[in-house]
Amino acid sequence: MSKWYLFSVCAIGCAADLMGQSNAGARLCALGGSGVSVRDEWSLISNPAGLAAIRKAVLLVSSESILTDPVLSTQAAAILVPVKSYTTGIHIRSYGFAGYKEQRAGLAVGKRFGPKLLIGANFNYHQVAVTGYGTASAWSADWGVQYVLNKRYVFGAQVSNPARNSYVRELSSGIPVKIGFGGSCFFSDKVLVTSALQKTLDGETEWCYGLEYTPARWFALRGGVTTGSVHYSGGAGFQYRQFKIDTAAIIRSDLGNSSQISISYEF
C-alpha cells in the first residue's frame, strides 16, 4: 500500500474528524457538543444511551457546511424505531470534497433499565476514498450510559472506538479514541444547562458547556462554548406538530465558521 495513501488517510481523516466526524445534530452542536448527558434523537452519535429515552419513531436528516469553503460539507440521516424498552437507530453520514470522501454507516441500540438507567451501543462501518489512491475501511464501536438522578439532574459517560480500530494496520489513523463524561441540569421547565469533559487519546482535553432556553413549547434558543480548539456556537429550534427544525452556527478557531440545520419528523 502506498505510503502517500497512508499519509492522505491520516492527515485528511484527522481534519475530517475536527469538522464532521460527529455531526450530532444541530441542537447538540449549538450546545457546544456537550451532549453526553442529553437525551436527544441525535444521541445515537453523541451518546447512544440517550436513544433509550426516545419513545416514538423518528426520521432525521442533517447538513453542515463550512461558510468559507462550502465544498467541505457533511450530510447525515437516521431513522429511530422504539420497541418496548429498546430504541434502535440506523444512520449514515457522508463528509468530504472532490478528492476525499469519508462515509460512515451504523446501527445503534439503546435500552432502558427502569426509569433511571439507560445504556446504549453504536456499531459503525467506516470507509474513506482518496482520488488516485483507492479506498480503505474499518469498523468501530461506541458505548454509553446515562443515569437519571432525579427530574433535574442527568449524568452520562461515553467512549468511542475503545478497541482503537483504524483504517489501516500500519497507522492508527482516522478513527479517534474518545472518552467523555457529562452532566445536565434542568433549572426549570424552560432552562437546561449542560456540561461535558471530553478527551481524545493522544489529543486535546476539552470542556464543553451549553445553555438552552425554551420560552415556548415550539421554540428554543441555545448557546455553547468548547475549549481546546476553541469554538463558540449558537442556534435555535422550532417545532410544528411532528416536525422539528434545529439550526446552529459554529465559530471555530481551526477550520473556520460553519452552519448546520437538522430536520426531524416524528411518526
- 237 CB burial (10 A radius; 0-12, 13-18, 19+): buried
- Could you identify the residue written with the cell 452542536? 29
Instruction: Tell me what the pLDDT averaged over the chain comes to.
Output: 88
Rg (the chain; Cα; Å): 18
- At residue 95, the pLDDT reads 87
For residue 56, the domain's CATH number is 2.40.160.60
What grid cell was written down for 92? Answer: 449514515
Would you give the DSSP letter of residue 171?
A: B
Domain count, the chain: 1
What grid cell was written down for 52? Answer: 433509550
Residue 247, CA distances (Å) to 29, 52, 219, 263 in order:
9, 24, 12, 9
- At residue 101, the pLDDT reads 87
Cα of first residue to Cα of last residue in the chain, in angstroms, is 47
How do residues 223-233 score in pLDDT, each as one tens digit? Answer: 999 997 778 99
Would you give the DSSP letter of residue 255?
A: S
The whole-number average pLDDT for the span 144-167 is 95
pLDDT interval class at 99 (50, 70, 90):
confident
Residue type (1 letter), 161 = N
Of 81-85, 153-157, 203-207, the range with the lowest mean pLDDT is 203-207
- pLDDT score of 10 more than 60: no
Residue type (1 letter), 14 = C
Instruction: Give the burial string for 55-94 (b: 16+ CB within 10 Å, else e).
Output: eeebebebbbbbeeeeebbbebebbbebeeeebbbebebb
- Contact between residue 249 and residue 26 where contact means Cβ atoms under 8 Å apart: no
Say which residue, 245 or 203, is predicted with more confidence: 245
Would you give the DSSP letter of residue 150?
A: S
Q: Which residues contact 35 (CB under 8 A, 6 or more apart)?
A: 24, 28, 42, 43, 46, 47, 50, 182, 194, 196
Q: Which residues contact 73 (CB under 8 A, 6 or more apart)?
A: 63, 64, 65, 66, 95, 97
The whole-number average pLDDT for the span 165-190 is 84
CA distance 26 to 32: 10
- Domain, as residue range, for 247: 3-266
- Contact between residue 200 and residue 175 where contact means Cβ atoms under 8 Å apart: no
- pLDDT score of 5 more than 70: no
- pLDDT score of 80 more than 70: yes
